[in-house]
Amino acid sequence: MSWVTTVVGSYSVSEGVRLLVNESIVSIPEWANLIWYNPIPSKVLIFHWLAIRNSIPVKDILFQRGIIQEGQNISCFWCFNSTETVNHLLLHCPWASLIWSDIMFWWNIRWVMPSSLVSFIQAWSSGMGIKAEMSRSY
């Protein structure tokens, strides 16, 4: 076997990424750049990336992968009212919503929780009215 895009025929991760990004095989949304070019700890970045890629091992994903079997409980660990998905756990669970509500209240922002984590990141990266709301409070 030989990697056809290199002269020597050997694969490297950097060559694979270069091929994916430069050859536009994979388009990286602009909001994704905000995740990786951000001065926050790498473990937070990785968790964030996994959450957006729907790869955090919540019960719904474990069920889809066959780790949790049919008939086992896949409801949210915190509220028991909904299936434990990434979006539910991080955005819509009453416990998560309470935290987000407090944060938005502290920042004097009025908003409606987006339907998904990707929508949340897109709204967040576009400013989400933060500048307008914050400038009104000063």
Contact 137, 108 (CB under 8 A): yes
- Using the rule CB under 5 A, is 79 a contact of Zn ion? yes
Q: Which two tokens stand for residue 95?
A: 């416990």
Least distance to Zn ion, CB of residue 52, Å: 19
Q: Considering only residues 11, 63, 78, 100, which one is a binding residue for Zn ion as defined by CB under 5 A?
A: 78
Least distance to Zn ion, CB of residue 96, Å: 7
Contact 59, 83 (CB under 8 A): yes
Q: Considering only residues 93, 117, 120, 121, which one is a binding residue for Zn ion as defined by CB under 5 A?
A: 93
Q: Which is nearer to Zn ion, 64 or 97 (CB)?
A: 97
Give the span between the Cα atoms of 48 and 21, in whole angstroms. 20
